Structure 1
Amino acid sequence: MDSIPVDFQWLGGAAFAIAIAVLAAWSKVFGKKEGPPAPKVQEFYASGQLADMGPVKELVESVGLVMQQMVRTNIALEETSKGIHHLVQAYEKHLAEEQRDREIAEEVARQLKDKR
């Protein structure tokens, strides 16, 4: 088999380019595969469901109130823990003073015993 003569090679190139263009156009127009249809999004006002939003509104308000109560409870717990911390420090001081008083009493008793 002989190759295409040099005089007709441009014709082959042009035919090849046209064939590629036709296949690309065919693929663009008919080659798309569609997936499942996209879900239709409707706003509440458009679908007439605005009246049915009462329970949702109540739920959102309830959640807001619960969150406020949680914040207040958190603040109260923090204050309580600070108070407990102060009580623990005071009790530790009291125990240290009692220990020091005991040691002083023992030292005094020992010195009195040594003098006798």
Structure 2
Amino acid sequence: MGGRRERTRSTVSESSNEPRHRRVVLKVGTNLLTGGGERLDRAIMRSIAAQAAEAHRAGCEIILVTSGAIAAGRDRLATLASAGEDEAIRLPHHLTRRQVLAAIGQGPLLSLWDELLAAPAV
């Protein structure tokens, strides 16, 4: 009574076909998402999404923690520049370029993950 309760963890035996861990936190850094380059590598992201989906089908809860907003911002600005929308690329003086790229890229990055994770092959 009033004593400290011990936390217990149940583990599935290794002979079982069930996954040993039910929750997997997948931290994906910018360097991985870009393949070491400046822009997002969609083939790499597609592969990560497929692996996450496979683990999910095996019964794991997948929590995706992703970097890459700056790289996604670079992609978005490149798209705007190629469309002739140079006016949209002017940066406010009080913000660093990295802050602006991250702000621009956050939405498109999440949309891309949504698209890749919802793909029928995944």
TM-score using structure 1 length: 0.20
Instruction: State which structure, 1 or 2, has the greater radius of gyration over its C-alpha atoms.
Output: 1
TM-score using structure 2 length: 0.20
Higher RCO structure (Cα 8 Å, ≥6 apart): 2
